[in-house]
Amino acid sequence: MRDISWSKKEKEIARRAFGNAYQKECTALVMRSKKMLDSINDPRDIWKIHDMLTESREEIDLKYDYRYSVLISVFARLLRESWLTETDFAGLREDKLESIKALSEII
Amino acid sequence: MRDISWSKKEKEIARRAFGNAYQKECTALVMRSKKMLDSINDPRDIWKIHDMLTESREEIDLKYDYRYSVLISVFARLLRESWLTETDFAGLREDKLESIKALSEII
């Protein structure tokens, strides 16, 4: 997987898909935070929201790794978690698509 | 300041004032977070809210120190920052009240 090559066009598709997934996760986090904030009864529960954001940030920072050497497995995970769909990968070489799909089943 | 004594009644007053101020700060933080969340245009700005909460938590954790040896200066700061008013200290011994007020002017 490490020596897989990415054409210029594929890099554009990858960059866009990566950015879209990141945007979607952040949007979901905004919604989750709003929901938590709206249902706060005890103001001290603000720290539960902080804890949730800290945990999410660590997870997202680790997950969104745009090195081409690991991008197939990053995309496989994003596919499995439904942040991306197969249509987001339209235009990638067939072997890459197959690797992403296969890996998403076992990751 | 370190050897100042607190009667049982004074401890109750202090504990209540301390709790009220903490509750107020947390409430203000909930409101601030809501306002920031509502004005988000770019979902990635969720991290700005996380940064704000991290900073606030560190500050609040440091500030709310309920050791009797430092409580006069804690109360002076809370008075200066308007999380407490002089009425919150009603029932404390006069010398404590004076110390809190005097310190709140210079802290």
A40 Cβ contact list (under 8 Å, min separation 6)? A46, A49, B30
Task: State the pLDDT confidence band at A63, using cuts at 50, 70 and 90.
Answer: very high
Q: Calculate the average pLDDT of chain B.
A: 96
Q: What is the mean pLDDT of residues A64-70?
A: 96
- Alpha-carbon span A20 to A49, nearest angstrom: 24
Q: What is the mean pLDDT of residues B82-95?
A: 97
Nearest to B50 among A22, A23, A54 (CB): A54
pLDDT in tens, A2-52: 568 999 999 999 999 999 999 999 999 999 999 999 999 999 999 999 999
- Minimum CA–CA partner of B29 in chain A: A46
Task: State the pLDDT confidence band at A107, using cuts at 50, 70 and 90.
Answer: confident
Exposed/middle/buried for residue A9 (C-beta within 10 Å: 0-12, 13-18, 19+): exposed
Whether A59 contacts A43, CB under 8 Å: no
Look at residue B107 in the predicted model and tell me its pLDDT: 81
Helix axes A46-63, B46-63, angle to 10 degrees: 130
B73 at interface of A, judged by CB pairs closer than 8 A: no
Write the ipTM. Answer: 0.90
Token representation of residue A50:
């902080």
Domain residue ranges in chain B: 8-106
Choose from A20, A27, A30 for mutation: most chain B CBs within 10 A: A30
Q: What is the mean pLDDT of residues A86-100?
A: 96
pLDDT above 90 covers a percentage of chain A that reads: 95
Q: What is the mean pLDDT of residues A75-79?
A: 98
Contact A29 B46 (CB under 8 A): yes
pLDDT in tens, B2-52: 568 999 999 999 999 999 999 999 999 999 999 999 999 999 999 999 999
B77 Cβ contact list (under 8 Å, min separation 6)? B63, B104, B107
